[in-house]
Structure 1
Amino acid sequence: MSLTPPVRLHLTTPPLDDAARRGGFGSARPCPGHEGLAGPDMGAWAGRTLDEVAAEDPEAVHRWLTDPEFAPPGGGESVAALITRTGDHLAGLEPGRHHAVVAQAVVRAAVVSALELPAAVFWRLDVRPDTVTALSGRAGRWNLLVGAPRAGG
């Protein structure tokens, strides 16, 4: 019996600085080499803060936060679609080590997909800025590394 070579993926979230705060959510920029791990497309909400959108349309924000199938207006991507897209990218990774700088939402989607969790769990995962989340696996079975020691600490 031959095991397939492992895949190791480190997902790094950028630090949250003033420019990132002002840019709002919805930065769908892809990470070079990992275009499938682009941030969610927020449609008409892109570039605005959650507070700005909630002040204008609190019902839509509530639906987005509670219904994984709800997509932001203007062609936005639902949480369920983000999880599917992220999972498809994970499934297509070649064996070896990969590193991607991604939005916090992409880390949530990757963990939900990799561990085959229900989409409703997405909002229950807190992902801090300027951190690394590690997934490893082989043959479609993923593991989440929890509690890694800090670098230099």
Structure 2
Amino acid sequence: MHPTIVRVRLVTPPLDEAARLHRFPYGDPRPGHEGLRGQDHGAWAGRSMDEVAGQDPEGLRRWMTDTSYAPPGGGESVEALIARVGVHLGALAPGTHRAVAGQGVVRAAVVWALELPAAAFWRLDVRPGSVTALTGRSGRWNLLVGQPEESPDPDAG
């Protein structure tokens, strides 16, 4: 492997854990990958989307349509999430990194890596139990699409 290449394998939790994460968690920091923690949903943390929709339908609508809108109570906007994840990815040392990351973090990583508009965040579906692989070199990132979790790591040797 060329020493300037950064490979990032983002593993999305399987469906049972993903269903638990559907309750607007504030993701725990990942050892060595604190910048890949889940989005801070402020006052919505611990509630389901249905609960938030029943109590704050306008806020939920804004959050899902305006990427600069942050949930009440100190929550993090989609744009802030993308920026935080991008800072983390951009600072990684050369080599291969593996982190378990929620769907929102994976979406943010792809949006940042491919320099997509923030609105693309909501257009990306991330399958539970899957791996999203990004490779970066010289400030340019590529996305490897369609690699299942159980496939061998091409960098393992």
Assess same fold via TM > 0.5: yes
2:119 is aligned to: 120
1:130 is aligned to: 129
CA distance in 1: counterparts of 2:17 and 2:146, whole angstroms:
28
8 Å CA contact 2:103, 2:126 repeated in 1:
yes
2:27 is aligned to: 28
CA distance in 2: counterparts of 1:7 and 1:82, whole angstroms:
21
The percentage of counterpart residues that share the same residue type is 65
CA distance in 2: counterparts of 1:149 and 1:109, whole angstroms:
20
Which one is further off, 20-29 or 3-12?
Answer: 20-29
1:93 is aligned to: 92
CA distance in 2: counterparts of 1:22 and 1:94, whole angstroms:
29
2:58 is aligned to: 59
Tell me the TM-score normalized by structure 1: 0.91
- Tell me how far 1:125 sits from its aligned partner: 0.2
Which one is further off, 20-29 or 48-57?
Answer: 20-29
Which one is further off, 131-140 or 26-35?
Answer: 26-35
Residue identity opposite 2:99 in structure 1: A
1:151 is aligned to: 150
Residue identity opposite 1:34 in structure 2: H
5+ unaligned residues in a row in structure 2: which ranges? 152-157
CA distance in 1: counterparts of 2:52 and 2:63, whole angstroms:
11
- Tell me how far 1:128 sits from its aligned partner: 1.2
What SS does the aligned partner of 2:53 have?
A: helix
8 Å CA contact 2:4, 2:94 repeated in 1:
yes
What SS does the aligned partner of 1:145 have?
A: strand
5+ unaligned residues in a row in structure 1: which ranges? none
Residues 34 and 19 (structure 1 numbering): CA distance in 2 closer, same or farther, change over 3 Å? closer
The structure 1 segments of at least 4 consecutive aligned residues displaced by more than 4 Å after TM superposition are: none
Number of residue pairs aligned between Structure 1 and Structure 2: 151
CA distance in 1: counterparts of 2:111 and 2:21, whole angstroms:
27
Residue identity opposite 1:94 in structure 2: A
